[in-house]
Every structure is written in C-alpha cells, then in structure tokens.
C-alpha cells in the first residue's frame, strides 16, 4: 500500500486564495506518469500536495497502460476530489491520457467530450470538460498537450476546438490549459497573439513566465481564456517552482524528478459571471 510521506519543511505555497469566493485552476504536465512515478513516495507526495491545493487541475502526460496508478494516486488526495480520465491518445506506441482532477464539493461535472479531430490535426485530441461552480460561474476547461514538432498547426487549430465546445454546451466561458510547447525551438511565442487576439482571448500565463525546470527560460505551459471569461478572472496567476516551495535538502530527489515542467495556475471568481 502506498503512503503519502510527510514533509516537515514545506515552504510557503504560492497563490494562496484571497477569498473563499474563488476557485483555483491549475495545469500540470507531470511527465510520464505511470507505475515508475507512483513508486517514488517523495515524488507523489509533492504531486499530491500541489494538486490538493487547487480546485481543478488539468494534467498532461499520463502514460500508464492501465488505470492502476491513477487510482492509487487519487487515494492520496482528500476524499472530496474526483476525476475524469480521457482516452489514450497518440499516433505512435507512446500513448497519453488527459486527466482532470477536481474538488467535487466546489465544482459539478456537467459534461465531458474528447475532440473528434475530423482533419487529424492533433497528435493527442484535446479533452473538454464542462463545469459548474457553486456560484454563478460555469465554464468549459480544455486540457491539451501540443505536439512539439507540429506546434504551429495544432495551436492554430485551437480556436476551432474552442468554438466546437462552445456550441456543444452553449457556453462561451472557456479556459484552455495545458502544455502548448509554445516557445523555444518549437514555436515563436509572439505568434500566439495572432491566434488568440486580445479582443477574443486573454493569455493568463504570458510569454514572460518560465514554466520549465530545465536551465532554459521557456513558456511552454499556458492558461488562455475566452473574452467572456474576462470578468471571472480574479487577476491572480503564477508558476509553482518546486525548489522555492519544497525543501529538497531534506529529500533524496531533485526538482527534475517531480517533473520537467512547473505547474501554472490562475484564480477565478465564482460570483462575477453575468452571461
């Protein structure tokens, strides 16, 4: 049986909620999640701590061939957390699943749907989830992991995915969260504003953030919202840097063992919605 080890030297956690009237959305590429990662109690303790501090987390890179590691991990979280696990996606033998974990006492699952991708653009078809909060705010969360070699084409197709989900659920408030690979050698990050113009979208995690654990400075991970959700954004967002949050001197692991990506987060008011 797996046990979540206790950290006696936790540092202050970023993004502490200012009000009970907000929800915290997190996006996290947890890097090849499966049996091997679940076998490291120090790693999964940090993962569980991060995810249990958010109200909803869009996760990328679940690589396990069966559901066992996911079920084991959910047992480490408080019992109020539920999840949606998308189908295994990918053209090669390396398949991935999108995993959305949410606090069921604050969010109600209304619908879930995987983008059918009729033109076969995406390596991993985005997963759409429709949530209602306990306030006025209801929204669609799109979990995505853009293929690096095809970043320009997949990112350019995202507005079409957004429109599909808006029409499917008759809801305009959308948050796209995930690993966009939208920087470095994969993509010219300045092109994002042409794909997501400020009249229609807001880049919450902007180009100035570093979301990678490696020495480079790249904004691969993003949270982007539609114009109708502007009023719901609480103005709080950021990146959770492991080495600044947990005391690794007391552990046998390094930050890179947790993931090669940092989680990104943003907060939304639950009672500001007018649409």
Statement: residue 136 has pLDDT above 50: yes
| pLDDT given for residue 94 in this prediction | 87
SS (H, E, C) the chain: CCCCCCCCCECCCCCCCCCCCEEEEEEEEEEEECHHHHCCHHHHHHHHHHHHCCCEEEEEEECCCCCHHHHHHHCCCCCCEEEEECCCECCCCCCEEEEEEEECCCEEEEEEEECCCCCCCCCCCCEEEEEEECCCCEEEEEEEECCHHHHHHHHHHHHHHHHHHHHHHCCCCEEEEEECCCCCCCCCHHHHHHHCCCCCEEECCCCCCCCECCCCCCCCEEEEEEHHHHHHEEEEEEECCHHHHECHHHCCCCHHHHCCECCEEEEEECCCCCC
Query: pTM of the entire structure?
Result: 0.93
Mean predicted lDDT score pLDDT of the chain: 93
Task: pLDDT band for 275, please (50, 70, 90 cuts).
Answer: confident
CA–CA separation, 89 and 120 (whole Å): 12
| pLDDT given for residue 2 in this prediction | 40
pLDDT digits (tens, 9 = 90+) for 27-61: 999 999 999 999 999 999 999 999 999 999 999 99
Task: pLDDT band for 168, please (50, 70, 90 cuts).
Answer: very high
CA–CA separation, 205 and 73 (whole Å): 27
List the beta bridge partners of residue 212.
Answer: 261
**Domains of the chain by residue range:** 23-269
pLDDT digits (tens, 9 = 90+) for 213-269: 998 899 999 999 999 999 999 999 999 999 999 999 999 999 999 999 999 999 999
| pLDDT given for residue 7 in this prediction | 36
Q: What mean pLDDT is predicted for residues 174-182?
A: 98
| pLDDT given for residue 157 in this prediction | 98
| Separation in Å, CA 107 to CA 40, 145, 239 | 30, 23, 23
Instruction: Give yes or no for a contact between 228 and 172, defined as CB atoms under 8 angstroms apart.
Output: yes
Q: Beta strand 22-33 with 56-62: parallel, antiparallel or unpaired? A: parallel
Statement: residue 14 has pLDDT above 70: no
CB-neighbour burial class of residue 179 (10 A; exposed 0-12, middle 13-18, buried 19+): buried
Statement: residue 12 has pLDDT above 90: no
Least confident of 13-17, 47-51, 169-173: 13-17
> Which carries the bigger pLDDT value, residue 15 or residue 71?
71
Instruction: Give yes or no for a contact between 168 and 113, defined as CB atoms under 8 angstroms apart.
Output: yes
| pLDDT given for residue 93 in this prediction | 86
CATH of 23-269, one of 3.10.20.740, 3.60.10.10, 3.90.1150.10, 3.40.30.10: 3.60.10.10
pLDDT digits (tens, 9 = 90+) for 87-115: 999 998 889 999 999 999 999 999 999 99
Q: What mean pLDDT is predicted for residues 197-207?
A: 98
Instruction: Give yes or no for a contact between 73 and 48, defined as CB atoms under 8 angstroms apart.
Output: yes
Instruction: Give yes or no for a contact between 17 and 50, defined as CB atoms under 8 angstroms apart.
Output: no
């Amino acid at each position: 049986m797996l046990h979540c080890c206790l950290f006696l030297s936790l540092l202050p956690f970023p993004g502490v909620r200012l009000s009970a009237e907000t929800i915290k959305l997190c996006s996290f590429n947890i890097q090849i999640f499966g049996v091997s990662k679940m076998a490291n109690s120090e790693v999964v303790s940090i993962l569980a701590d991060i995810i249990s501090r958010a109200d909803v987390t869009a996760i990328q890179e679940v690589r396990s061939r069966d559901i066992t590691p996911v079920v084991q991990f959910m047992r480490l979280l408080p019992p109020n957390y539920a999840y949606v696990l998308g189908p295994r996606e990918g053209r090669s033998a390396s398949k991935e699943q999108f995993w959305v974990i949410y606090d069921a006492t604050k969010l109600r699952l209304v619908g879930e749907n995987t983008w059918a991708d009729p033109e076969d653009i995406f390596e991993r078809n985005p997963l759409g989830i429709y949530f209602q909060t306990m306030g006025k705010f209801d929204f669609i969360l799109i979990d995505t992991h853009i293929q690096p070699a095809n970043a320009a084409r997949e990112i350019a197709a995202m507005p079409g995915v957004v429109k599909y989900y808006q029409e499917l659920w008759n809801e305009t408030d959308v948050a796209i969260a995930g690993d966009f690979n939208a920087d470095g050698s994969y993509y010219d990050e300045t092109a994002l504003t042409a794909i997501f113009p400020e009249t229609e979208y807001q880049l919450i995690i902007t180009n100035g953030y570093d979301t990678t654990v490696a020495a480079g400075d790249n904004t691969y991970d993003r949270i982007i919202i539609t114009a109708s959700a502007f009023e719901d954004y609480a103005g709080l967002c950021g990146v959770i840097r492991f080495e600044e949050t947990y005391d690794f001197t007391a552990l046998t692991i390094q930050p890179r063992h947790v993931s090669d990506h940092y989680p990104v987060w943003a907060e939304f008011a639950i009672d500001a919605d007018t649409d």
